[in-house]
A and B are shown apart, each in its own frame.
Chain A
Amino acid sequence: MTKILKHIDTTHPRLGSEVKMVKKTICFLFCLLIFIPSAHAERRRFVEVVSHRLDMDVSKVGLDTEVWKSINPYRHPLQEQFLEVPKPVEVGVKEIFVQSIHDGKHISFRLAWKDETKDDSIGLMNFSDGAALQFPVNKEELPEYFMGEEKKPVHILYWKAWRSKDLRDGFQTTKSAYPNMTTDIYTFDYPVKGKGTEKTQAEKDIFIPGKAAKNPLSFPIKGIIAELSATGPGTITFKNIENTSGDARWENGEWTVIFRRPLTVKDSESVQFKLGEKMPVAFAVWEGSRMESAGRKAVSPAWAEVEVEK
């Protein structure tokens, strides 16, 4: 506990003289966390991230832009997802470091966490590293922090390492996953030309069920971040909009991922950030080499908050 408080003393930029009061609050919330296992969101919001207002074009800030060096990262603890079976016994990533900046138009989150293995290649039982940010669509009626609730949707920004590799090396296929594989012929993929052999891609895709069913997972997306909405566990749907862009890099056993988007957008089912206000946020991280996927993930212990500096 003392260690955590010391860490907060040194890393929290806004504590200063208020440190005693904050210590008390944190102690209280920490006790709540230990003694009250229920997941009531309101009571368990305990981490605050400040999104610093900067005089620069945040939409163009990349992974290595100098500005990140001047922003203290917030250490955000993660724990095993504990509400839905199957629950992971343990998770690979137990903390992430969060930074955020905005310029009045765009907001950017930079997440960093240790992960010894880079899992970005597709395979039958390869699982992708991943990370997600979750916001309530309506923060006045805050849902349970885990995946939202019926009539209380959440907006999720989801990065998957597979998508980063897709973008860099081309959409991954069976052939890229298993280069030594051989196949005689695919239906309608004729090696010769002639009458009846001219088939459109759509005709060929009939034999690829995910594509025929137009499952968005089976097609490339423009960037690496997918936007999703959910109204409870198991209800994820694609929003079919791409207002969020991102960058990701794995280096020396660490992932660094940027999520950036406009503060406000037209879509009423999307998160809207207002200057000077706090927005609840929750994080999730998947460690692919541990076969983490769906509910087998590391999550925030409760809603955190991001304060969008005026």
Chain B
Amino acid sequence: MKMRKVFNWQLKRRVSYVYPQSRPKRQWAMIFDLNKCIACQTCSLACKTTWTSGKGQEYMFWNNVETKPYGGYPVAWDLGILSKLKAQEWRGDKYFGKTLFEAAEKDEKILQHISEDEDWAYPNIGEDEISGMVNRGDWIATLPHRIWMFYLPRTCAHCTYPACLAACPRKAIYKRPEDGIVLIDQSKCRGYRECVRSCPYKKSMFNVETRISEKCLGCYPKIEQGEMPQCVTNCIGKIRLTGFVSTPDNSRKDNPIDYLIHEKKLALPLYPQFGLEPNIYFIPPIHVPITFQEQMFGPGVGKAVETYKNIKDDQTLKGLLVLFGSFEKILHSFKVDREHAYGFDEKGKEIINVPVTEPIYVRDVFDKDLKAYRHNTP
């Protein structure tokens, strides 16, 4: 079939896609700081109680949190497609390998890994499992850790070049021009499951009760009200931020999303080599070996980890990270001064300010008035 060429800035080259390039006016994007996720699953349940509490949705987690290296929902979704794509080449920060569209088998649109029913039945498999055996006498002395694990929260990436949309024979999947959110038209879908087969991140899901497919909505009704999604505002670890990402040439330094992705290159896309230009971005964990992470987040991981380690000397970055999880509204711009970080809405109105460093109060161990010792036990 005739493939089109579209520009993928994450791979720094033109890639194959089913449709011609058509970027939305602005693009929904989410950033996760993986150093802070504790896999409490509050995001998963915030999403579940909001969107997938109905019949046929029992197994669905539009938002899930899995433990790497072994966890995955559905089981081995990533290993499945990676082993099909095989080793591919980056040269510097430019991708020379094949994307999933470019590696498609004959008479297929995209290379696919198909998850079986049972793969969806263990949403938290591999939880807290560490990468290898702990030896007697082991202790954590250096970064990265010799034995490690980390949590990976995931939603639909509302890709710039969505596989689900490209695969749908009915054009029942569309990408909203106003915010780039990708939706399945529930009145048009016929349950062919081409999207379920094709999405490499496995975020299109089939509902056996309605016999059609569903996916994460990016909480578009909240986005339309200028608010961040449920999984973001309910995150107790304050690891998430939602906003709009620009292309690198249009990056705005005062846009918190652009600042983290383009200016500081601290937040990186998940499996950019798939070629879909996904719009969920991860701040890589500093304790995990770089080689493992490069496969997930591309060649920028090493620098991102260094940037994160030096964050204490970067007032702007430090300030921006404390803005995470402090409010419900979408931030369109931010600024940081010596003491505070400020967030502004689309009209430039201040909607939040927080101290960059929380004040610390030290009290005496013995309270003379109460004649009692203060314990530091939680």
Seen from chain A, the residues whose Cβ lies within 8 Å of a Cβ on chain B are 84-89, 122-127, 162, 172-174, 177, 181, 183, 186-187, 207-215, 217-218, 233-236, 291, 293-295
Q: Which residues of B contact A207 (CB under 8 A)?
A: 53-55
A86 touches B192 (CB 8 A): no
B107 within 8 A of A: yes
Cα–Cα, bound, A293→B191 (Å): 9
B171 touches A85 (CB 8 A): no
B315 within 8 A of A: no
Contacts A124-B120, A187-B53, A294-B192; A87 near B208 (Cβ below 8 A): no
Q: Which residues of A contact B106 (CB under 8 A)?
A: 89
A215 touches B208 (CB 8 A): no
Chain B residues with a Cβ closer than 8 Å to the other chain, count = 39
Q: Which residues of B contact A124 (CB under 8 A)?
A: 59, 117, 120, 205-206, 208
User: 6 additional contacts, CB 8 Å, given A172-B208, A217-B190?
Assistant: A85-B107, A89-B107, A209-B186, A234-B171, A236-B190, A293-B194
Seen from chain B, the residues whose Cβ lies within 8 Å of a Cβ on chain A are 1, 53-56, 58-59, 106-109, 114-117, 120, 169-171, 185-194, 196, 205-212, 214
- CB-nearest residue of chain A relative to B213? A210
Inter-chain CB contacts under 8 Å: number: 112
B193 touches A210 (CB 8 A): no
Most B Cβ at <10 Å: residue of A87, A210, A218: A210
B208 touches A209 (CB 8 A): no
Q: Which residues of A contact B192 (CB under 8 A)?
A: 293-294
Contacts A173-B208, A208-B56, A234-B170; A86 near B194 (Cβ below 8 A): yes
A86 touches B108 (CB 8 A): yes
CB B120 to nearest CB in A, in angstroms, measures 6
- CB-nearest residue of chain B relative to A126? B117
Q: Which residues of A contact B212 (CB under 8 A)?
A: 209-210, 215, 217-218
CB A175 to nearest CB in B, in angstroms, measures 8
Q: Which residues of B contact A173 (CB under 8 A)?
A: 55-56, 208-209
Q: Pick 23 A–B contacts, CB within 8 A, sort by A.
A: A84-B169, A85-B107, A85-B108, A86-B108, A86-B194, A122-B211, A124-B208, A126-B117, A162-B211, A174-B55, A174-B58, A208-B55, A209-B186, A209-B207, A209-B212, A213-B187, A214-B187, A215-B187, A215-B189, A215-B212, A218-B209, A236-B190, A295-B169
